[in-house]
Every structure is written in structure tokens, then in C-alpha cells.
Amino acid sequence: MLACRTVALLAPDPHLAPVRSVSGSLDIPLLPAQSASETLIEFRDVYKSFGDKHILRGASFCVRRGEAVGIIGGSGTGKSTTLRIAAGLLQPDAGQVLVRGVERVGLMADQPDSDGALVMGLVFQSAALFDSLTVGENVGFLLLEHSKLPKTRIKKLVAAALRKVGLRGVENLMPSELSGGMKKRVALARAIIRDDQHAQAEQLIMYDEPTAGLDPVASTVVEDLIRGMHTPTSARSRGGITSYMVVTHQHSTIRRAVDRLIFLNDGKVVWQGTVKEFDACDVPIVRQFASGSLDGPITYV
Ligand SMILES: Nc1ncnc2c1ncn2[C@@H]1O[C@H](COP(=O)(O)OP(=O)(O)OP(=O)(O)O)[C@@H](O)[C@H]1O
């Protein structure tokens, strides 16, 4: 049985990720096969189109327990779509998504819930806070709407989640009173809040461009929070964010918050490797992307 719960919120402006295999014409080595127990999420030959826009065209990868994975690629290559499929908010047209080795059928909302679950959280690109709700109501939204917990308990859980992202005493503020960086941190708190039933569950958090639009210092704060909240070695039974995926265009985020990169292009994973390997890589498409050059296999119209 799948044991997952997605805590992403379908907020007004939701926006919306890869590990094991590569495809396409590039000659890229596959990572060694991993045991299913170490693989939290795996895409096998996933396809997704919107109308006549064919976005994912055989994307395959996996994210293993303990990893901090960055998803990179040109604009419109389907990074956010990948995160939304991984989080179970969107269904692939073809291919398989496996969660801890078990194929997910349908959307996350259709999955049975259970204790000891893998909890997935998605932090939307725009923070996507509800403008008419206070910070506290935003962070506690899911629990307020979908749990039977007493409000006093939810308040405590909200305060604890906010503390984890370095915010205190902001529960009664409105989102309009927050800076861009604070909004992102509130969105992080909303993704990591957990009820008592899931307190021991391991978490896979997906961040969609978490530092987009932030100044360099605010970006560093968010990058260090993402890194700091990662508990790669925590046993499943003790909870914590064991793995995360982050879609980013920012070099600072790649440097500070990512260990391994997955490069999406033309609907497929065309390269993956460590950040160090990325820097040293001489695959033309990777070099072009890293340097921002107009010359190379990536063309923009
Ligand atoms: N629900 C949808 N309906 C129709 N088209 C969509 C939908 N979601 C995404 N798309 C389209 O799919 C393409 C890929 O979008 P996606 O947001 O996944 O790309 P991305 O790689 O994250 O882009 P960016 O780096 O610009 O954020 C875009 O052309 C987008 O307009």
C-alpha cells in the first residue's frame, strides 16, 4: 500500500523534478541501481502533455533517501510539471511514478493514508499564500481544514513550524505585511507542518524556485534554511526531511542547497551528477546551460 500524504496546497497561483536514468542521444553513465527501500520516488519513462504541448517525453530518474537534489533546465522544460507529478498533484499521461518502490495509481488525494507515511510537501514558486488569511491560518490551513485537531493544538503546531523557519510572533500578521523572503519562509513552514499522526513520518519536500525574486541575502537565508532543515540520516521512524528536490535557476541555490543535479531538456533527463561534476562537465548542453551562452544545443525561439 502506498503510504503517502501530500501537504501541498492548491492555492490561487500554484506553480510547480529527476535520478537514475538518462535518455536521449547523449552518452551519459547511469547511476548504479538502487534498492527500492532507498528510493523514495522514481519516474520511469514519464510522459505529460498539455494539449499539443508535449512537455515530458520519457523522463526517468529517482530520488533516494538522504538526497538533496536540484532540478535544472531551461524555462518551460517541465521542471514544475515534474514536481507536481512527483507530489501527486498531476497525473502522468504515460509511464510510472513509484513511491518507495510502489507504483502510484491516481493522484495523491486518492491514496490511502497511514501512520509511518512518507509525507510530501510542495512549496510553490510564488509562495502562494492566501492573502485574506493570517500567517497562522495559512500555515495551519491544511490542519484546520482537514484534521480534527483542536485549534489550540494546531496553534502550537503552527508556532513550532514557524520557529523551524526562524519566525516568531508573526501568526497574526497578514501576508501583505511580510517581505518576499518572509513569505517564502511562511510557505516553507506550511509545507513542513505535520499533525501528531505524521510526526514520525519521513518527509520529502519539493521546493519550486524557492529563491526566485529574492535579494542575495534573503536567498542565502532561504537556502540555508532548506539545507538546515534537511535531516538526511534521520531514520524513518524519527521523522524529519530525509530528502528534498529543488527546482532552481539560481547558482547560489545550486551551490548552497544542492548535492546532486538533474538536468531536464526536451522532456527528458539529459544529464545528472554532483555539483562538482556539473562544474567540471564538458557535455556541450551542460556547459552551455552553466555559462548562459547562446551558442550550443539549446535554442530559444
Ligand atoms: N496546467 C497547464 N495547462 C497547460 N499548460 C501548462 C500547464 N502547466 C504547465 N503548462 C505548460 O507546460 C510547459 C512547462 O511548464 P513548467 O512550468 O513545468 O516549466 P518549467 O520548466 O518549470 O518552466 P520555468 O523554468 O519557466 O518555471 C509550459 O509551456 C507551461 O506553459
Query: Residue 65: pLDDT above 50?
Result: yes
In a domain, 297, yes or no: no
Q: Identify which of 49, 53, 122, 270 to mutate to test ligand 1's pocket (most ligand atoms within 8 A of the CB).
A: 53
Query: Of all atoms in ligand 1, which is nearest to the CA of residue 84?
Result: 18
Mean pLDDT of the 212-216 span: 84
Q: What is the ipTM of this complex?
A: 0.96
Helix/strand/coil for 59: strand
> Which whole-number Å values give the CA distances from 146 to 24, 140, 194, in the listed order?
43, 10, 12
Phi and psi for 14 in degrees, rounded to 5?
A: -70, 140
Please tell me the pTM assigned to this model: 0.82
Round the average pLDDT of the chain to a whole number and report it: 80
With CA atoms as reference, report the closest residue to 40 among 89, 2, 92: 2
Helix/strand/coil for 18: coil
In a domain, 15, yes or no: yes
In a domain, 296, yes or no: no
Residue owning the nearest CA to atom 9 of ligand 1: 81
With CA atoms as reference, report the closest residue to 216 among 247, 173, 170, 255: 255
Expressed as residue numbers, the domain containing 126 is: 4-291
Most confident of 143-152, 164-173, 183-192, 256-265: 256-265
How far is ligand 1, taken at its centre, from the CA of residue 106, in Å? 21
How far is ligand 1, taken at its centre, from the CA of residue 224, in Å? 27
- Binning pLDDT at 50, 70 and 90, where does residue 32 land? very low
In a domain, 298, yes or no: no
Which pLDDT value is given to residue 11?
34
Residue owning the nearest CA to atom 10 of ligand 1: 50
> Which whole-number Å values give the CA distances from 248 to 6, 75, 96, 110, 130, in the listed order?
21, 10, 24, 29, 23
Query: Residue 17: pLDDT above 50?
Result: no
In a domain, 300, yes or no: no
CA 184 to chain centroid, in Å, comes to 14
List residues near ligand 1 (CB under 6 A). Answer: 16, 50, 53, 55, 73, 75-81
Tell me, what CATH number does 21's domain have?
3.40.50.300
Query: Of all atoms in ligand 1, which is nearest to the CA of residue 77?
Result: 21
In a domain, 301, yes or no: no
* Count of structural domains within the chain: 1
